[in-house]
Amino acid sequence: MNKQNTIVVAVDGPSASGKSTVSRRTAAAVGWIYVDSGALYRGVTWKCLKEGIDVKDAQAVTNLLIKMNFQLTCNGEAVGYLIDGEDPGMEIRGEAVRAHVADIAAQQPVRVFIVDKLRQMTKFGNLVMEGRDIGTVVFPDSPFKYYLDADPAERARRRHAELAQREGNSDVTKVLDALKARDQKDSNRATSPLQIALGAKIINSTGMTIEQVVDTIVGDLKAAGLA
Ligand code: DC
């Protein structure tokens, strides 16, 4: 499929709004490729930490972007990447990366670098891409833009359950506080803040099942004759 005909479903929203699960399942339902754009910001953060670079030192971070080899990969179901030949794997989900990624995502050169990588992904085929600025900045012309939200308490409950499963211990009050702090940072940063894209369909998933949200998006694709 050539670049012109490629379709991107853009799914934006705050953390723990259900974007990942919904986007992954939507992609699987229609046989398109899933993209977790946050994983790229996490990858750059991981590389900085690995190289001992201060994530707040914009010049050092920019030098790293110029120097490193960031290669996209695709297994037919999802897009991944290698940084200087290495796959960071689950390390990008750890506490160290989590604590610093918002500082990395706030830097304009990082965003320019990653937006370019995200746009290149259309070479792999039709995409379901989740993030914070996919409908506003990366693919603003997409006819399929969604803003997924859920009440903060519900998002904290979901994230808490996820962390408890992965890391064994988690405190729901701390999770809610961290979530609100990250929302605040993501929504108020000067560069590409989290916003509802023009023409995006807003879905508040608080009282909805994952299947209902997926069905809403797949239904739109079916109505357009794409699924
Ligand atoms: O979705 P996530 O939690 O993996 O995102 C990690 C960080 O990257 C978070 O601080 C928001 C930021 N991000 C962004 O600024 N733009 C995106 N398109 C995706 C993520």
- 51-81 per-position pLDDT tens digit: 999 999 999 999 999 999 999 999 999 999 9
Note the pTM of the prediction, 2 decimals: 0.93
Residue type, 73: T
Residue 214: per-residue pLDDT: 98
Whether 131 is in the pocket of ligand 1, judged by its Cβ within 6 Å, is yes
Name which residue leads in pLDDT, 125 or 191: 125
- The span from the CA of 19 to the CA of 95, in Å, is 20
Task: Map out the domains of the chain with their CATH numbers.
Answer: 8-216 (3.40.50.300)
Closest C-alpha among 208, 227, 209 to residue 218: 227
Instruction: For residue 91, give both structure tokens.
Output: 């390390």
Whether 144 is in the pocket of ligand 1, judged by its Cβ within 6 Å, is no
Sheet of 8-12: strand order equals 33-36, 127-131, 8-12, 144-149, 201-204
6 Cα: distance to centroid of ligand 1 (angstroms): 24
- The span from the CA of 106 to the CA of 133, in Å, is 12
Residue 169 has pLDDT above 80, yes or no: no
